[in-house]
Structure 1
Amino acid sequence: MEQLPWLPAQADLGAALGAARRLEPAARFAEAVRLAGFRRDFTQTGRIDRLAADGLADPALRGGVSPALTPLRLAILSSHTVDHLVPAIRVSGLGRRVALSVHVAPYGMYRQALLGEDPELAAFAPQLVLLALDARDAPIDLPLDSGEDAVEAAVQARTDELRTLWRRARARYGAQVVQQTLVAPDPLLFGSFEALVPAAPHSIIERLNTAIRAAAREEGVLLLDLAWQAARLGHGSGLADPVRWHQAKQLVSPVLAPLYGDLVARIAGAVAGTSRKCLVLDLDNTLWGGVIGDDGLDGIRLGQGNATGEAFLAFQRYAAALGKRGVILAVCSKNTEAVAVEVFEKHPEMALRRGDIACFVANWNDKAGNLRHIARTLNIGLDSLVFVDDNPAEREIIRRELPEVAVPEVTEDVSDYPAILGAAGYFEAAGFTADDAARARSYALNAERQAALEQATDITGYLRSLAMRMTARRVGPAELPRVTQLINKTNQFNLTTRRYTEADTARFAADPDTLLISVRLADRFGDNGLIAVLMARPDAALPPGELLIDTWLMSCRVLGRQVEEASLGVLLDHAARRGVKALVGEYRPTAKNGMVAQHYARLGFEPMPAPAGAEPDSLTMGATFWRYELRAAEAPAHYIEVEAA
């Protein structure tokens, strides 16, 4: 089976790996990161992992790689052998912009590791815990003639045990838990009748997976849904191969290691906030067949009536569905804009309309420059973009000029595009909320705001004309998933880039001494949704009566609208009511948050030395600290109507 088909092939990967061994450590690690972006097999993956070993262990070597890698500690607790999968997990992490440290608990000891004492796991302090279980572990073994009630009770008991393990992992380590679903290891006993026999092996496993999915949703646990992958890949894929199982207790064969590693790494990326945000689409022979400038509106192939036109329509529908779940859609095409826009506005078979596209760039400039323009316009990084283009030459140019941009390797048949884009997992999610669904529309509305700014004669008049309304309140249970998601995804306007699990966020929200505030913004164009999170808390390094601003992050969609000033006003109001004497802000510089280096200075904070007892991570990262005395505080000026609670 072809591994990682969305990645381009390297002409001579073996020679490149050999040459990389002779490089200096920093260059060797950078080359390992580059090679992780190519199609590879089990052996090649192992060689890339060995090239990357020094860099993964040394933050100084990692620091030279662009875009920056997010470090994450992953513990795997399994009932099947996984050691042979670890190199693939680490290498795929590089491709997902995550520097993964991996700890594997002793084989089959997952219960003991979580319910008993495991000093090595405790010392590792995992941020992500993967429970990689198989169907042969603690099987539900009932008589085949057992009824529904007996099967339901057995499934419930097993699910309750898993809930206990999940909760223990969260309580002990504050880790995000990932549960692997179960793959049926044996052939059907009853053929197609199996589903109608409650206690048949496949029926029980299917019911258990359904129960696990429901419980995971309730508990805030993520899924590595290996059962769905097994159904998609089919027999002989390398999952639950009886030969590998009997020889080495391997549920996943080495042949399938690169894909399994990527499935784990994309979840890690979603947790770390490195999933992509924006799908950029070429037009001619990508969204429709033919060239609109030559063939005209009636000559392009799109829609019902022929197989090619239906395939293009299917791809458009998939892109539209991604837009509905919150992926930003953009267009980058060598075309005359008016001619290209006409297709979106007038062709009756278009599934995508102009209003679905947050940034529409059609001109005769080079596409690398246009992709930079799209990223700037949307206020997102180039490493948030996925660019789909039918032209292999254009794909190669973008990979060379903009290595931060993901460029899937598509075939000549557009029928394959949805499957390739879906299999690539660029937009892997760690949650889904109403704000996510509205995100794409909010970016489109930003284009209207930008147009209003260009027409305004002065910035004051523009800000007044927006009629902005802010709602700021302490975070409640309903907002926990979205707040946690923002904490883990926001990289640019993020003063400290601290990452927290939903369990951590819930603990902060429940703490009466901690201020955890969510900020929403609406204006005359529409609702921007949840756009900022602030957290101020007591800290052992500070004297009583002072609060550390642990987290201050904001969506780049609302930059330049005085949200910072209004948010500080809310924070000052809450702090004053509690008798707080001073706020201490912390800025931890990263490769991505340079835009907020002067944030506290602009808001009137005074620089101060690092507090005695400040976190070692802060000192290592070169953090600066800033102080704001409440007795001398004046409410910051802004043009936002604030409703605080």
Structure 2
Amino acid sequence: MTDLHWLPASAADWKARVRALAPASGDGDDAAWAEAVTLANAALNFVQTSALDQAVRRRFAGPPAALATKPVRLALLGSATMAHLHPAIRVAGLRRGLWVDIYENDFGQYQQELADTGSDLHGFRPNAVLLALDAHHLTAGLTAGMDAAAADAALTDATTRLRDLWRQARETLRCPVIQQVPLPLHPLLLGANEHRLPGSPAAFIARLSAALRPLADEAGVHLLALDDRAARDGLAAWHSPTLWHHAKQEIDPRAAPLYGDLVGRLLAALQGRSSKCLVLDLDNTLWGGVIGDDGMEGIVIGQGSAGGEAYVAFQAYARELSRRGVILAVCSKNDEANAVEPFEKHPEMVLRRADIACFVANWSDKAGNIRAIAQELNIGLDSLVFVDDNPFERNLVRQELPMVAVPEVTDDPVSYIRALSDAGYFEALTVTDEDRERTGQYHGNQAREALRASATDIESYLRGLEMQLVWRPFDRIGLQRTVQLINKSNQFNLTTRRYSEEDVLAVMADRQAFGLQLRLLDRFGDNGVIAIIIGRLRDGDAVYIDTWLMSCRVLGRQVEPTTLNLIARESLRLGARRLIGEYIPTKKNGMVRDHYAKLGFALIEERADGGNVSMLDLDRFTPAATFIHVTEG
């Protein structure tokens, strides 16, 4: 099934609200944008998706002022008809707070437009490319009479052509590339052992799809794995031979909303907009029954019942999410002692207290507690996903905190894993060592806060942390993490410029620039990479700080002046005598408005939008003395 089952059904007044959203004229406003996002967060079908898309496009002539993200210009380069997919992709972006503009090549002209730098494609200046070549196009020329050598040559030719397209797109358009893995459309010619027929189109697509995985990894290309979805949903849910012959539509319109959502979550991940934290209810969510009433021996979990095993499976899934970097939190209406006890003592529990980065159990309303969780973890509310079996609590949180993702689940625990997995809240393009260590980092933060509370003054607290800042120039080893941080850091980010892997590689190759990745360690553990700096030499003697972003969890530990010491040193190495720092305001980075002033920079420009430009004379700069030991490593 390709329905968006994890989203709630559209409200009874949904149609009326869509009509109200689309006046004949007007540029839109913050409230209208928020309403459009709310309307998109429902289980819409193809017709509803198209209606909402039309309403939004009539209301907004372009990206609205309320937009908190970088507008997406997506180039769809394909060999089949894709116009019917545009509304679904745009609405999927809307669902995540993204404004998406789409360019589609003239039918069959993707190679010509990509090669011609004067084409409309290049004039569109996409910041993301989706290469969607249909299975019939990819198997053109194959015949069942081919021997193994001929089929192998055809596969080599196909992968070579794809890699050439990836290279062209990345070199000329300088943006991330997404490759659609083809649907397995072809009928079988041999049967269950189709792989033994070298020239079989079905076998060829299976081989090509398998080959794409390592090739895409090697090239830094991201995949839209339609073959995986078809395996789960059934090919008939995705493809209609009738529509293919009539209109060359590879994707059935009925599957368009899910197709759009699969693309939308990748676009969101490219901007660092994936969710970061899974917030879990307890009673009838992690176990059956009510711990306060039924006690340890009365809750349902573990072997012996279908329900108990389903709860164990859900806990195991949550733990695996944690191991790949998702933060786990608990939000429960319970006495804390009762709520914690199963995590510490029940033999069938998969999750343990150490797996939970933030544990909130009290009798306050859940919306307020979720706010407290976001504050304690120092992440945005739009980074949270809340799972609760109780429809009242789900609806309350949706109403009070519309930025929090709340999957629609049934009262059967079997539905929880499917809802989270199908929804793609935690879609990621890569997994780094930082991701795997995230829960431990949050526990380390709690230990640091305990030290802060016990310290008699800030100096003794900082000295007691025994901090070490380890810095390295940008390199390929840390490339994925660097790009990840650049594209998801919003609060402590002076300019909020977003860069692709190609852009970071260009910094590495530029002798008039430097890129720094900073890692902070202390007595409680490794905080991971906590800052990214990009500086560029201009005007002969000035280094412009193009990018300065930091993790908010290390604020107040003298990291800022220590980082400035490094920036000054690298700038002097390039022959600079001045540092120029720019602040570009966004809806989320107001906390760093006065960052450069606090570090001793002189204000040289105040802009009407609230931004500013400041300068530091390196001839007069004296490195700050801090309690942080700095090493290169």
TM superposition score category, shorter chain reference? over 0.9
Q: Is the 8 A contact 1:270 1:429 kept in 2?
A: yes
* Mapped pair 1:634 → 2:614: no
Aligned counterpart in structure 1 of residue 66 of structure 2, from 36, 49, 64: 64
Q: Is the 8 A contact 1:189 1:200 kept in 2?
A: yes
Instruction: Give, in whole Å, the separation in 2 of the partners of 1:270 and 1:56.
Output: 24
Report the equivalent of 2:469: 470
* Mapped pair 1:160 → 2:160: yes
Matched position secondary structure for 1:345 = helix
Deviation per CA, 1:602-638: give whole Å up to 9, x if none. 111111127xxxxxxxx79653111111011111232
Instruction: Give, in whole Å, the separation in 1 of the partners of 2:498 and 2:399.
Output: 32
Report the equivalent of 1:269: 268
Matched position secondary structure for 2:330 = strand
Report the equivalent of 2:583: 587
Instruction: Give, in whole Å, the separation in 1 of the partners of 2:109 and 2:161.
Output: 15
Q: 1:99 and 1:55, CA in 2 relative to 1: closer, same or farther beyond 3 A?
A: farther
- Amino acid of the residue matched to residue 31 of structure 1? E
Q: Is the 8 A contact 2:22 2:58 kept in 1?
A: no
Correspondence 1:554-565 to 2 at 5 A = 554-565=550-561
Deviation per CA, 1:244-267: give whole Å up to 9, x if none. 101110011111111111111110
* Mapped pair 1:201 → 2:173: no
Instruction: Give, in whole Å, the separation in 1 of the partners of 2:475 and 2:60.
Output: 38
Deviation per CA, 1:414-465: give whole Å up to 9, x if none. 1011111011011111222122211232122212222222222222211111
Instruction: Give, in whole Å, the separation in 2 of the partners of 1:444 and 1:191.
Output: 54
Q: Is the 8 A contact 2:275 2:426 kept in 1?
A: yes
TM-score, normalising length from structure 1? 0.94
Q: Is the 8 A contact 2:301 2:348 kept in 1?
A: yes
Report the equivalent of 1:400: 399
Instruction: Give, in whole Å, the separation in 2 of the partners of 1:399 and 1:464.
Output: 44
Instruction: Give, in whole Å, the separation in 2 of the partners of 1:336 and 1:9.
Output: 33
- Amino acid of the residue matched to residue 101 of structure 2? S
Q: Is the 8 A contact 1:69 1:94 kept in 2?
A: no
- Amino acid of the residue matched to residue 472 of structure 2? R
Matched position secondary structure for 1:592 = coil
Report the equivalent of 1:14: 15
Q: 1:198 and 1:56, CA in 2 relative to 1: closer, same or farther beyond 3 A?
A: farther
Instruction: Give, in whole Å, the separation in 2 of the partners of 1:58 and 1:634.
Output: 47
Matched position secondary structure for 2:235 = coil
Correspondence 1:84-163 to 2 at 5 A = 84-139=84-139, 141-144=141-144, 146-163=146-163
* Mapped pair 1:624 → 2:625: no
Report the equivalent of 1:616: none
Q: How many residue pairs are counted as aligned between the two chains?
A: 629
Matched position secondary structure for 2:193 = helix
Report the Cα offset of residue 201 of structure 1.
2.3
Q: Is the 8 A contact 2:21 2:55 kept in 1?
A: yes
Instruction: Give, in whole Å, the separation in 2 of the partners of 1:5 and 1:461.
Output: 54
Aligned counterpart in structure 2 of residue 577 of structure 1, from 573, 576, 590: 573
Instruction: Give, in whole Å, the separation in 2 of the partners of 1:332 and 1:518.
Output: 35
Report the equivalent of 2:323: 324
Report the equivalent of 1:615: none
Q: 1:348 and 1:196, CA in 2 relative to 1: closer, same or farther beyond 3 A?
A: farther
Report the Cα offset of residue 199 of structure 1.
3.2
* Mapped pair 1:42 → 2:42: no
Deviation per CA, 1:356-383: give whole Å up to 9, x if none. 1111111111111111111111111111
Q: What is the RMSD computed on CA atoms of the aligned residues?
A: 1.7
Instruction: Give, in whole Å, the separation in 2 of the partners of 1:549 and 1:55.
Output: 38
Deviation per CA, 1:332-391: give whole Å up to 9, x if none. 111111111111111111111111111111111111111111111111111111111111
Report the equivalent of 1:33: 37
Unaligned runs of 5+ in 1: 611-618
Instruction: Give, in whole Å, the separation in 2 of the partners of 1:533 and 1:571.
Output: 11
Deviation per CA, 1:518-557: give whole Å up to 9, x if none. 0011111111111110000024xxx211011000111222
Report the equivalent of 2:602: 606
Matched position secondary structure for 1:607 = strand
Report the Cα offset of residue 311 of structure 1.
0.2
TM-score, normalising length from structure 2? 0.96
Instruction: Give, in whole Å, the separation in 2 of the partners of 1:621 and 1:136.
Output: 52
Report the equivalent of 1:296: 295
Report the Cα offset of residue 208 of structure 1.
0.3
Correspondence 1:208-357 to 2 at 5 A = 208-237=208-237, 239-357=238-356
Report the equivalent of 1:547: 543
Instruction: Give, in whole Å, the separation in 1 of the partners of 2:556 and 2:267.
Output: 32
Q: Is the 8 A contact 1:134 1:183 kept in 2?
A: yes
Report the Cα offset of residue 298 of structure 1.
1.2
Report the equivalent of 1:613: none
Instruction: Give, in whole Å, the separation in 2 of the partners of 1:214 and 1:473.
Output: 28
Q: Is the 8 A contact 1:140 1:204 kept in 2?
A: no
Unaligned runs of 5+ in 2: none
Q: Is the 8 A contact 2:319 2:351 kept in 1?
A: yes
Instruction: Give, in whole Å, the separation in 1 of the partners of 2:385 and 2:195.
Output: 40
Instruction: Give, in whole Å, the separation in 1 of the partners of 2:93 and 2:166.
Output: 23
Report the Cα offset of residue 412 of structure 1.
1.4
Report the equivalent of 2:535: 536
Q: 1:626 and 1:459, CA in 2 relative to 1: closer, same or farther beyond 3 A?
A: same
Instruction: Give, in whole Å, the separation in 1 of the partners of 2:195 and 2:501.
Output: 36
Instruction: Give, in whole Å, the separation in 2 of the partners of 1:323 and 1:405.
Output: 19
Instruction: Give, in whole Å, the separation in 2 of the partners of 1:56 and 1:434.
Output: 41
Instruction: Give, in whole Å, the separation in 2 of the partners of 1:560 and 1:336.
Output: 34
Matched position secondary structure for 1:522 = strand
Q: 1:431 and 1:301, CA in 2 relative to 1: closer, same or farther beyond 3 A?
A: same
Deviation per CA, 1:158-204: give whole Å up to 9, x if none. 11111111111111111100000011222222221213434322221
**Stretch moving more, 274-283 or 439-448:** 439-448
Q: Percent identity?
A: 50
- Amino acid of the residue matched to residue 552 of structure 2? C
Instruction: Give, in whole Å, the separation in 2 of the partners of 1:83 and 1:110.
Output: 14
Instruction: Give, in whole Å, the separation in 2 of the partners of 1:118 and 1:201.
Output: 36
Deviation per CA, 1:470-519: give whole Å up to 9, x if none. 11121111111110111111111111110111011111112111110000
